[in-house]
Chains A and B, each alone.
Chain A
Amino acid sequence: MAKLYSASPEKVTKMTPKKETIDFLLNYSKALKVETYNKMPFESILN
């Protein structure tokens, strides 16, 4: 069988943020609570 002389294509890595960043966002979302009192929103982070 003939040899292949062409270089194998470089592996293309998808650009994605770090797992830590995603985890932080998901945890932030779980911790964040918004309560509305007299039409005013109040945010609290319950960690």
Chain B
Amino acid sequence: MEHIEANDAFLVKSYIDGNEQSLSILINRHQHRIYSFIFSKVFDKDVAEDIFQDTFIKVIRTLKRGKYNEEGKFLPWVMRIAHNLVIDHFRKNKRMPKFENSGDFNIFSVLSDSGLNAEKQIIKDQIENDVKELIKELPEDQLEVLVMRIYKNMSFKEISERTGVSINTALGRMRYALINLRKVIDKHNLVLTN
């Protein structure tokens, strides 16, 4: 009876002192809140089960290592661990998207439309037009190299032959063209991202 009435701090201390029964009481007391919290985030019973287990493995290891700092906040501490593990779970899934198998095969889960949609296409066209206008502000020699390299897709060797300068000079002009283009963009306060 004393154990049922005992508060978390007492049970934690008793567990650290070697009373395994205390852990059982703590888990039974808080399992519903912790499990529902995890489930409310992941909406999958198996995943929630896994995260619940990992949460308490972490709790057990921390308590046994004597790293737990008793401040009378056992449940908030466990909830925080669960919360962090939920975040880890979503991060992991983002890196490695899960193939959802709901019975029917859905081709769009493996194929995605990498093309731009109408809005993005318009933005892209606008940006390209803006850039075409901006490069007109560059010095003539830099503009020449940049146009040949980017719009005419020529190699620096070809550019150097066409303009009659060395490859290194062409490379240098290209570099300054880009530096100056950035300055022009800054000057006009433009954001050229899609």
Contact of B61 among A14, A22, A26, A43 (CB under 8 A): A43
Encoded as 1 (CB less than 8 Å from any A CB) or 0, chain B from 20 to 52 comes to 100110011001100110010000000011001
How many contacting A-B pairs (Cβ < 8 A)?
52
Q: How many residues of B contact A (CB 8 A)?
A: 21
Contacting pair B53 A24 (CB below 8 A): yes
Contacting pair B64 A17 (CB below 8 A): no
Q: B residues engaging A (CB < 8 A)?
A: 20, 23-24, 27-28, 31-32, 35-36, 39, 48-49, 52-53, 56-57, 60-61, 64-66
**Can you pick out 28 interface pairs between chain A and chain B where the beta carbons lie within 8 Å of each other?**
A14-B32, A15-B35, A15-B39, A16-B31, A16-B35, A17-B31, A17-B35, A17-B49, A17-B53, A21-B49, A21-B52, A21-B53, A22-B24, A22-B28, A24-B53, A25-B53, A25-B57, A25-B60, A26-B24, A26-B27, A29-B20, A29-B64, A32-B61, A34-B61, A34-B66, A41-B65, A43-B64, A43-B65
